[in-house]
Amino acid sequence: MLRRILALLCLAVASYGAFPRPLADVPISAPGGKTIRLSQYKGKVMVVLIVLTTCEHCVKSAQLLARLQKDYGKDFQAVAVAVDSKAPELAVTFRELHRLNYPVGYLTDDNSVMKLADFKREDRPLSPMYLFVDKKGTVRLQYIGSDDNFFKNEEKNVRGVVEAYLKE
């Protein structure tokens, strides 16, 4: 248990953004003219994954979240947000092609992406980007694609954070 807490603390030091912070209430467009409101998942542990639909590492991260969605069930919610220029056309294909069992939406407005991920235009973070949200709707951790320490053991690290939040 102590090792897990120390590992999470080490990961927190390497993370990106200000913590804790409320999850931004950014409406996320979804295929078919629908809108995903992240606030609808309050009460669940949530992972928001910001991706590019053409990024191989983003695909692997999205598939990891599909496994977690299956494993953790109703107490957990994954959501992918595509942010590349062709995301409106590719979101459905991305979800179906990679057999994702959770909502996939998109943002085409840079300001909305920056608000959701809490970064400035000059920061230029790499994808994929994970936002870990507790049951109260608070972003407590965030990792960007250039964080080698986090992504070296991605599945173990993601599961560790999710399981810790589920126990709260």
Position 10 confidence tier, pLDDT thresholds 50, 70, 90: very low
CATH class for the domain made up of 2-166: alpha beta
Token pair 């598939």 is found at 63
pLDDT score for 13: 39
pTM of the model: 0.87
Strand 45-51 vs strand 76-82: parallel, antiparallel, or unpaired? parallel
pLDDT for res 133: 98
Domain limits, the chain: 2-166
Q: Cβ(67)–Cβ(31) under 8 Å?
A: no
**Which of 6-20, 59-73, 121-135 is least confident?**
6-20
Average pLDDT over residues 29-42: 94
Asked if residue 52 has pLDDT above 50, the reply is yes
Contacts of residue 60, defined as CB under 8 A and 6 or more positions apart, other chains included, come to 154
pLDDT value at residue 167: 97
d(CA 23, CA 152): 26
What is the average pLDDT value for the chain, to the nearest integer? 88
